[in-house]
Amino acid sequence: KAGVTQTPRYLIKTRGQQVTLSCSPISGHRSVSWYQQTPGQGLQFLFEYFSETQRNKGNFPGRFSGRQFSNSRSEMNVSTLELGDSALYLCASSLRDAEQFFGPGTRLTVL
């Protein structure tokens, strides 16, 4: 069974730009969560989607948004990038209320 895949794996952007990251969950998983990982703040929850609906949202500004498609694939978007948005963005998928499986992440660098 294929694991969670995230694209792209690495991304370099400049301040003010926007970026879209993609996540394909494990087949059959309908819950997709996004996390931001930085050395200073650790792993922080961004949002979770289940059956195309956002179920929960973390404490991030409105520049961070996401969506989920009918095939459970998810995208997250960050607009007006700031230097502090440089991080590893992780996606995790699960069956409803079960262990979460993480993808390898997308390393975003904002210059």
Partner 1 sequence: GESVGLHLPTLSVQEGDNSIINCAYSNSASDYFIWYKQESGKGPQFIIDIRSNMDKRQGQRVTVLLNKTVKHLSLQIAATQPGDSAVYFCAENLDYGGATNKLIFGTGTLLAVQP
Give the interface with partner 1 as residue ranges (CB under 8 A): 4, 31, 33, 35, 38-45, 48, 50, 55-56, 58-59, 90, 92, 94, 96-97, 99-105
Shortest separation between residue 32's beta carbon and partner 1, angstroms:
9
Indicate the helix (H) or strand (E) that contains 53.
strand 53-57
Shortest separation between residue 4's beta carbon and partner 1, angstroms:
7
Q: Beta-carbon neighbour count of residue 69 at 10 Å?
A: 11
Among 14, 5, 8, which Cα is nearest to 109's? 14
Nearer to partner 1, 11 or 45 (CB): 45
Nearer to partner 1, 24 or 94 (CB): 94
Nearer to partner 1, 2 or 97 (CB): 97
Number of Cα atoms under 13 Å in the Cβ half of residue 87: 23
Which residues on adjacent β-strands are paired with residue 47?
Answer: 34, 57
Shortest separation between residue 91's beta carbon and partner 1, angstroms:
8
Nearer to partner 1, 70 or 97 (CB): 97
Contact between 91 and 32 (Cβ < 8 Å): yes
